[in-house]
């Protein structure tokens, strides 16, 4: 066994995006691509000698090979120990849980979230810091800077570790411990929620379907829902993780989770339906013929938090990403707590949670979480809802109807245009930017434009500034149209248009969101010239 220094050259395009470095598997398989990035991480995060690293991924194609390479590099770079999930698998929230529980220095998570997997699909890697959360921008920028001047990486020349066997192994001077991460995660969930109340819900006339979408949450969901909570066998659908997600697109939304959606909107639909994504951090919540927008889900959680054991004393504050609807703000107002508005991406919530300023966080992109870890957490959100339903003994639709009566309804939708030409996508946003001055005071969609800007955020804890986080058109009545380009795609550009309109009138709460927002959608197309520039007459995905 010997340690090698391998010389290398910088590879372009290794800047982490909204959630780590994402690229095609074929790109990651290029000589030195993975190694350069991992060495850049190890060179940028401080003194790692003698420290513990957590390592795991969503099980997608190339996960196992990447884990073996990273283990050998961790050993050569001086880590004392690596905790790796059995089979090389850790859901993203479980990785965050393990980093915190074992006070690791940080973790490497191998995932491209909900993006399709397989030899011709996507792979990804991101570094999480010791609080269990995604590295903040100053760290990801330092990693990127290092990828631009890297000249060599360190790797141990040794045999692979058997990732399927739990236990402690040596790799040079480093210890590798293969752990059962489902157990640690399930233990944390039992501390937070009233498992007895949820168990008793399953003895009543209550039915539930959970779609793991052939991805990482299957084993976790089976242990928690069918094992600990005694939900009937078969509650968990598509529960065997596959390295290509069975050819699917494990993004829990109305388009990609259609198998579950068909069940919840079919005959004899269950009372409750939920799904999670490739790496287990996203969630979709459905009732019988009913969809809960993620923005509303966050607001309902905030309003009902004291029903949950972990949050029974109340929540410190809430945070939402800027494009997420203002539904949670209304709850925060009534509760007399702060509501923070951050840029898109979970990494912006970490400082607020560490400082004790917020307990619950959410994004419109099917992400909700709390300070129990520092990632969004799909199964946690499902358990939160089950606990609410167990206590309130109402339907999902009933909980929402009641919520809207109290707080009003924020009609909300996101329209995604995927695989658009990059120059056209940039121009769509620029068109709106060019009209910032002239739009102000104009009436669009029957509403007066109050202001337009490029969203910028100053972190209230460390003062760091993040600019250009979305083009906003804000109306006097609180309605909003927001344009953003995705930072997680691996080919072409994705334009996201976020539409929101507030409706206090209960009589109008039954409207379909697309109907309620129709004039806003027209206005968005008109000011951006999106149809003309992209040649698209409808979005790829509507959520
Ligand atoms: C998307 C979502 C964002 C989320 C991220 C990672 O990023 O919009 O809210 O944090 O995935 O799950 P985007 O592609 O928009 O940059
Ligand atoms: Zn994800």
DSSP string, 491-532: SSEEEEEEEEEEE--GGGTTS-HHHHTHHHHHHHHHHHTHHH
Residue with tokens 């990632």: 375
pLDDT of the residue at 1:
64
72-103: burial string, b at 16+ Cβ within 10 Å, e else: bbbbbbbbbbbbbbbbbbbbbbbbbbbbbbee
Domain ranges in the chain?
A: 2-181, 185-407, 409-542
pLDDT of the residue at 101:
97
Q: State the first-to-last Cα distance of the chain, in angstroms, to the nearest integer.
A: 52
Q: How many CB atoms lie within 10 A of CB 314?
A: 11
Atom of ligand 1 nearest to the CA of 114: 12
- Report the C-alpha gap between 91 and 328 in whole angstroms: 27
- Measured in angstroms, how far is the CA atom of residue 429 from the centroid of ligand 2? 26
**β-strands 443-444, 447-454 pairing:** antiparallel
What are the CA-CA distances from residue 115 to residues 17, 112, 121, 385 (Å)?
14, 6, 8, 26
Q: How many CB atoms lie within 10 A of CB 457?
A: 17
- Six-digit token pair at 214? 């052939």
Closest CA to 363 of 15, 19, 3, 1: 19
Atom of ligand 1 nearest to the CA of 487: 16
The answer for residues whose C-beta is within 8 angstroms of residue 268's C-beta and 6 or more apart is none
Ranges assigned E (strand) in 312-375: 317-321, 338-342, 360-363, 367-370
Q: How many CB atoms lie within 10 A of CB 142?
A: 15
pLDDT of the residue at 488:
79
Q: Which residues are close to ligand 2, an ion, with C-beta < 5 A?
A: 113, 277, 279, 281-282
Class of domain 185-407: alpha beta
- Measured in angstroms, how far is the CA atom of residue 278 from the centroid of ligand 2? 6
pLDDT of the residue at 487:
84
The answer for residues whose C-beta is within 8 angstroms of residue 365's C-beta and 6 or more apart is 282, 294, 321, 344, 414, 543
- Nearest CA owner, ligand 1 atom 6: 19
Pick from 18, 92, 276, 489 the residue to mutate for probing ligand 1's pocket: most ligand atoms within 8 Å of its CB: 18
The answer for residues whose C-beta is within 8 angstroms of residue 38's C-beta and 6 or more apart is 69, 70, 73, 108, 125, 153
- Six-digit token pair at 51? 């420290």
pLDDT (tens, 9 = 90+) of the chain, 543 residues, equals 677 899 999 999 999 988 899 999 999 999 999 999 999 999 999 999 999 999 999 999 999 999 999 999 999 999 999 999 999 999 999 999 999 999 999 999 999 999 999 999 999 999 999 999 999 889 999 999 999 999 999 999 999 999 999 999 999 999 999 999 899 999 999 999 999 999 999 999 999 999 999 999 999 999 999 999 999 999 999 999 999 999 999 999 999 999 999 999 999 999 999 999 999 999 999 999 999 999 999 999 999 999 999 999 999 999 999 999 999 999 999 999 999 999 999 989 999 999 999 999 999 999 999 999 999 999 999 999 999 999 999 999 999 999 999 999 999 999 999 999 999 999 999 999 999 999 999 999 999 999 999 999 999 999 999 999 999 999 999 899 999 999 877 778 999 999 999 999 999 998 999 999 999 999 999 999 999 999 999 999 999
CA-based radius of gyration for the chain: 23
Fold equal for 185-407 and 409-542? no
Q: How many CB atoms lie within 10 A of CB 244?
A: 15
What CATH code is assigned to 409-542?
3.30.310.50
Class of domain 2-181: alpha beta
Provide residues with CB under 6 Å of ligand 1. 18-19, 113, 321, 344-346, 363, 365, 367, 486-488, 496
Q: For 74-130, give the secondary structure using H, E and C.
A: HHHCCCCEEEEEEEEECCHHHHHHHHHHCCCCEEEEECCCCCCCCCCCEEEEEEECC
Alpha helices in 305-376 (DSSP H): 327-335, 350-354
- Six-digit token pair at 330? 């209304």
- Report the C-alpha gap between 118 and 6 in whole angstroms: 28
- Report the C-alpha gap between 107 and 110 in whole angstroms: 10
Tell me which ligand sits closest to the C-alpha of residue 365. Answer: 1
- Six-digit token pair at 485? 């380009």
- Measured in angstroms, how far is the CA atom of residue 129 from the centroid of ligand 2? 18
- Report the C-alpha gap between 294 and 71 in whole angstroms: 37
113: annotated active-site residue: yes
- Nearest CA owner, ligand 1 atom 10: 345
pLDDT of the residue at 510:
87
pLDDT of the residue at 161:
95
What are the beta bridge partners of residue 291? 286
- Six-digit token pair at 345? 């991406």
Tell me which ligand sits closest to the C-alpha of residue 344. Answer: 1
């Amino acid at each position: 066994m010997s340690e090698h220094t391998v010389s290398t050259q910088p590879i372009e395009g290794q800047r982490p995006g909204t959630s780590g470095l994402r690229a095609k598997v074929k790109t990651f398989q290029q000589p030195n691509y993975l190694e350069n990035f991992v060495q850049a991480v190890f060179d940028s995060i401080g003194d790692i000698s003698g420290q513990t690293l957590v390592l795991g991924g969503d099980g997608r194609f190339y996960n196992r090979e990447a884990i073996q390479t990273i283990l050998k590099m961790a050993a050569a770079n001086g880590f004392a120990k690596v905790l790796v999930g059995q089979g090389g698998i850790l859901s993203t929230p479980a990785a965050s849980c393990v980093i915190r529980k074992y006070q690791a220095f940080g973790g490497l998570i191998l995932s491209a979230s909900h993006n399709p997997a397989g030899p011709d699909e996507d792979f990804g890697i991101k570094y999480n810091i010791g609080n269990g959360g995604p590295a903040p921008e100053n760290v990801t920028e330092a990693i990127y800077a290092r990828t631009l001047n890297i000249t060599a990486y360190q790797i141990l020349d040794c045999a692979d570790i058997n990732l399927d066997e739990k236990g402690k192994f040596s790799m040079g001077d480093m210890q590798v411990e293969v752990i059962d991460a489902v157990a640690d995660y399930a233990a944390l969930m039992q501390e937070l929620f009233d498992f007895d109340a949820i168990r008793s819900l399953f003895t009543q006339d209550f039915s539930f379907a959970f779609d793991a979408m052939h991805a990482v949450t299957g084993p976790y969901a089976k242990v928690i829902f069918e094992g600990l909570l005694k939900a009937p066998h078969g509650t968990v659908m598509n529960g065997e993780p596959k390295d290509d997600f069975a050819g699917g697109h494990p993004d829990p939304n109305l388009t990609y989770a259609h198998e579950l959606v068909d069940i919840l909107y079919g005959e004899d639909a269950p009372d409750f339906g939920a799904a999670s994504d490739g790496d287990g951090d996203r969630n979709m919540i459905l009732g019988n013929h009913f969809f809960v927008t993620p923005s509303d889900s966050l607001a309902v959680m905030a309003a009902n938090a004291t029903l949950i054991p972990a949050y029974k004393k109340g929540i410190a504050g809430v945070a939402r990403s800027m494009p997420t609807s203002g539904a949670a703000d209304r709850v925060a107002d009534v509760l007399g707590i702060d509501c923070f508005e951050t840029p898109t991406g979970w990494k912006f919530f970490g400082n607020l949670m560490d400082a004790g300023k917020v307990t619950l966080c959410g994004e419109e992109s099917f992400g909700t979480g709390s300070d129990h870890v520092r990632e969004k957490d799909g199964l946690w959100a499902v358990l939160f809802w089950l606990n609410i339903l167990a206590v309130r003994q109402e339907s999902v639709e009933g909980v929402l109807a009641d919520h809207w009566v109290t707080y009003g309804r924020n009609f909300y939708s996101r329209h995604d245009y995927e695989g658009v030409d990059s120059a056209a996508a940039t121009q769509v946003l620029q068109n709106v930017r060019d009209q910032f001055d002239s739009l102000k005071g104009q009436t669009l969609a029957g509403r007066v434009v109050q202001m337009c800007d490029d969203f910028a955020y100053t972190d209230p804890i460390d003062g760091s500034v993040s600019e250009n986080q979305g083009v906003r058109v804000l109306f006097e009545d609180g309605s909003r149209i927001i344009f953003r380009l995705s930072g997680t795609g691996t080919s072409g550009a994705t334009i996201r248009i976020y539409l929101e309109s507030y409706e206090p009138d209960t009589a109008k709460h039954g409207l379909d969101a697309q109907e309620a927002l129709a004039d806003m959608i027209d206005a968005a197309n008109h000011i951006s010239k999106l149809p003309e520039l992209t040649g698209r007459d409808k979005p790829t995905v509507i959520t």
